[in-house]
Amino acid sequence: MAGNILGTTVYYDSDCNLGNLVGKKITVLGYGSQGHAHSLNLKESGMDVTIGLRKGSKSWSVAEEAGFVVKETADAVKMADVVMVLIPDELQADTYKNDIAPNLKKGAYLGFGHGFNIHFGKIVPREDINVFMVAPKGPGHLVRRTFQEGSGVPCLIAVEKNPSGDTKEIALAWASGIGGGRSGILETNFKQETETDLFGEQAVLCGGVTELIKTGFEVLTEAGYDPVNAYFECLHEMKLIVDLIYEGGLAKMRHSISNTAEYGDFLTGPKIITAETKEAMRGVLKDIQSGKFADEFLADSKAGQPFLKGKREEFKNHEIEKVGAELRKLMPWIK
């Protein structure tokens, strides 16, 4: 039965009806990380799934080998009652304009795995189109693996437009069909999902963590410490700490570490993450809320990704990556 966590409604498989998708023609656009997971999980949940890809996509043969009918995007959309858009954010608006919008059935259901393009107005569907989101809170390979293991990754759902009156039921069925109902489906909206997701990625999970790891490594190696030791202390052991936090919050992590580590945690953490850092985070959030980040990201993409590709090249050559590549050869269990 549906529950409530701090004001957020949480649904489980018993609250969902997969019958709302049975008999409907489903098209998943994209067969990457999320695309392959959604498609395979839904297929194994008894759904009729077609994959839509651009002509010449390297994923075409992969999807066919997995047993799917694969069509070019426009053709896959024409026959669909439900279309889920799981291609990269930067490609969605043009694909929508050229291949999706002209071919959507009247009253079709249009789904997204992330609210970016709907929330920032880069895609504006017709008034007769039902718009929903199912956003698993984990990468595609985990969505697939946990489903196969009999569990699932928690999912967020949201409804943006509901002319048919049953779009939430479709979203719940989709989330249940990919495994989300086994662990929990949380109801939200496109604004909340998009802005918190972007902030988390930039300020904490990706941008914050990677910069902290890299800077810690540099401080130790520049002070003359062995790069192998620096790698283990600043990068490798991050997983051990994060696993403890994942399992039981900050309290379990602090309970599990030594008194020395815990003392240093409380003493030094606020020296690193200062009031100025928090203010910088507020600036990051403001740029996300205003759409400034979205516009900068899309402009870089349209220009051929000079910023993104330049940074990839820069960090590929950082010493921490070279040290890590050698050390991971000694740890085959990681693979």
User: Which residue numbers are catalytic?
Assistant: 114
CA–CA distance, 102 with 257 (Å, rounded to integer):
58
Yes or no: say if 39 and 62 are a contact pair by the CB < 8 Å rule.
no
CA–CA distance, 152 with 147 (Å, rounded to integer):
5
Yes or no: say if 191 and 158 are a contact pair by the CB < 8 Å rule.
no
Interaxial angle between packed helices 319-328 and 207-222, expressed in degrees from 0 to 180 and rounded to the nearest 10: 90
How many residues are there in the chain? 335
CA–CA distance, 256 with 240 (Å, rounded to integer):
11
Q: What are phi and psi for residue 107, nearest 5 degrees?
A: 75, 15
Sequence-ordered alpha helix ranges (H) in 181-235: 190-199, 207-222, 227-231
Task: Label the pairing between strands 3-5 and 8-11.
Answer: antiparallel
CA–CA distance, 250 with 91 (Å, rounded to integer):
38
- Residue 159: which region, alpha, beta or left (left: phi > 0; alpha: psi -120 to 50)? beta
Distances (CA, A) of 75 to 19, 42, 102, 131, 192: 25, 20, 11, 20, 33
SS (H, E, C) 87-144: CCHHHHHHHHHHHHHHHCCCCCEEEECCCHHHHCCCCCCCCCCEEEEEEECCCHHHHH
Hey, what amino acid is at 232?
Answer: F
